[in-house]
Chain A
Amino acid sequence: MNQLRGKAWKFGDDIDTDAIIPARYLNTSDPRELAAHCMEDADPSFAGRVQPGDIIVAGKNFGCGSSREHAPIAIKAAGVSCVIAASFARIFYRNAFNIGLPIFESPEAAARIQEGDEVAVDVESGTITNLTRNEQYRATPVPPFMQEIIAAGGLINYVARRLKG
């Protein structure tokens, strides 16, 4: 179950949270409604064509801009299994971990993977396999503390457990 697999959707550098989920849709926090507009201002056809398991692959500074957690929520609810980017903006990075959207930082993968490539990711080791090109890339290791959050099933479960303990 720790293997994610899907088709790559390529995006450029500095994909901001307004592109991921425009503020005109922020009068709701319903994941399904948000998913229907996911990536709309970067690629209006994305939400209609993305398949469960597909992977977003982007350049540097993915998720810059607003703190809206609606951005990773929209991506997750659209069925995207993970995001691979050369780098992530910091609030998006935290938000993704907190809500349980797997993300992987790998400049090499971001550069090499092309639109439509079939990609598999081993979550625990951070090994990214490009099945189309028969290549492998390494993701930056996740700090142990953040792995604990993931293992707990997100920040809320982690906090709830801590308060009980």
Chain B
Amino acid sequence: MPMTITEKILAAHAGLDRVEPGQLINVRVDLVLGNDITAPVAIKEFRRIGVEKVFDRERVVLVPDHFVPNKDIKSAEQAKILRDFARQQQLTHYFEVGRMGIEHCLLPEQGLVGPGDVVIGADSHTCTYGALGAFATGVGSTDLAAAMALGEIWLKVPESIKFVYYGELQPWVGGKDLILYTIGQIGVDGALYQAMEFTGPAVETLSMDGRLTMANMAVEAGAKNGIVPPDEITLDYVKGRARRPYRVYHSDPGARYARVYEFDVSKLEPQVAFPHLPSNVRPVSQAGYVEIQQVVIGSCTNGRLEDLRLAARVLQGKKVHPGVRLIVIPGTQEVYRTALKEGLMEIFIDAGAAVSTPTCGPCLGGHMGILAAGERCLATTNRNFVGRMGHPESEVYLSNPAVAAASAILGRIAAPQEVL
């Protein structure tokens, strides 16, 4: 019986020869993850289970990244719960401020996730790791608590949807545009409970950074997971990073899909999601005149090196518009250091940008760039819900880093070609 890559990974981790969509299975997890918002609740629930130790201290990862460096006393208390728990449990992978990154930028970079893994994280964007050919999905705190104790989780095998992207991408078009376009086509519940399998020549040309961006936003279409078949680019990325053995899976010919979408993306423009849903997408040329007061370049969606390079290429020798605050947030300390070495930080600072230490901060309206009533922000983040970045009467628009940089220069939503 032919299976999809998602089904194969789940079957292998359930100790079964085969699984079918809809089947409820117990799955061994390779890694579990929590952050400073979700882990405090998980730790409280973990203690209620009545076990002393987590199932494997090398496979429970805690990353305080949302409200750190601590934004207020309450946040400091929450981060401290993680720190104390990590110490008490002697966790190998606890990442302190100054040595951390935004979780979904950090884990792939540090080789903590690899092809064929099953990863669950108490953060909806855990689906990011599907870019490596892993099964990764977001859960809540109680599921995390149970998985920390058991080293396994119950899952329903999802149906898979296959997306095939044809054509050569235009300049300034990348993973962010492919995923925004896709969500625009199928809607914010277009892949509810399902696996999104991203394939085709256009995806094969994407770097790992671009693929991580795509898989990251699978949850924005309601998906359980997003997944990209591993290839040479994947293996090049994993080589020298992976801290555990990994295994490459591919979908069988004849595997069953709930739906197959074929997109010719050869003429696709950079995409912009308008308030207040990620599916409310338009090509940048049809954005019209939208004045903005803030631009955020960063997040688990677009805080990687390639993202900062793209933004810097647009910003080099230019100035941020007087009416705009540009905030650049490297995804990890490593991204920060490399960007410094490459001179990207100098370009940002010369342009008049504020550069921050890695944090989720403004993406979820936590800190480091909260919007006032009536303000508009163009962000490379993943959600533009009402009140997402601050006041309920503020607005968030989503785009790729090059569009964000061009818009920061012009003070309105703009295509990179307009400033180059």
Contact = CB atoms under 8 A, between A and B. Distances in A.
Interface in B105-140: 121-124, 126, 138-140
A7 interface: no
B154 interface: yes
Interface in A9-57: 14, 16, 18-19, 22-24, 26-29, 40-42, 44
B222 A18 contact: no
Contacts of B390: 24
Contacts of A163: 49-51, 149-150
Contacts, number: 143
A79 interface: no
Contact of B124 (A24, A67, A87, A155): A67
Contact of B41 (A14, A19, A69): A69
A137 B57 CA distance: 48
B365 A23 contact: yes
Contacts of A40: 392
A29 B126 CA distance: 21
A22 B366 CA distance: 9
A60 to B, nearest CB: 6
A83 B387 CA distance: 23
B138 A91 contact: yes
Contact of B188 (A42, A64, A145): A64
Contacts of A159: 49, 146, 149-150
A28 B51 CA distance: 25
Contacts of B387: 18-19, 22, 41
Contact of A41 (B45, B66, B386): B386
Contacts of B188: 14, 61, 64
A24 B386 contact: no
B199 interface: no
B325 interface: no
A154 B387 CA distance: 31
A89 B45 CA distance: 23
B341 interface: no
B321 to A, nearest CB: 27
B45 A91 contact: no
A98 interface: yes
Contact of B189 (A26, A29, A64, A145): A64
Contacts of A164: 50
Given A41-B392, A90-B222, A29 B40 contact: yes
B192 interface: yes
A90 B192 contact: yes
Nearest to A97: B142
Nearest to B76: A27
Interface string B380-414: 00010111101010000000000000000000000
Contact of B385 (A18, A24, A145): A18
A115 to B, nearest CB: 20
Interface stretch (B67-75, B94-102, B258-266, B349-357): B67-75
A29 B41 CA distance: 7
B287 to A, nearest CB: 22
Given A23-B365, A61-B188, A89-B192, A94 B48 contact: no
A155 B143 CA distance: 8
Given A64-B222, A65-B385, A98-B142, A23 B364 contact: yes
Interface in B257-283: 277
Contacts of A87: 189, 192
Interface string A98-113: 1100000000000000
B222 A69 contact: no
A117 B102 CA distance: 45
Contacts of A19: 385-387
A69 B38 contact: yes
Interface of B: 24, 37-38, 40-41, 44-45, 48-51, 66-67, 71-72, 74-75, 78, 121-124, 126, 138-143, 145-146, 149-150, 154, 188-189, 192-193, 219, 222, 224, 277, 364-366, 370, 383, 385-388, 390, 392
17 contacts: A18-B383, A24-B390, A26-B66, A42-B386, A65-B385, A66-B124, A66-B383, A68-B38, A73-B41, A89-B192, A91-B219, A95-B139, A95-B140, A95-B142, A156-B45, A156-B146, A160-B48
Please list the 3 inter-chain residue pairs (A to B) with the smallest Cβ-Cβ separation, ordered nearest first.
A95-B140, A27-B74, A98-B142
Given A60-B189, A155-B142, 18 more contacts: A22-B387, A22-B392, A24-B366, A29-B78, A41-B385, A41-B392, A64-B188, A66-B364, A67-B123, A68-B37, A69-B141, A70-B37, A72-B140, A95-B141, A145-B154, A154-B142, A156-B146, A160-B48
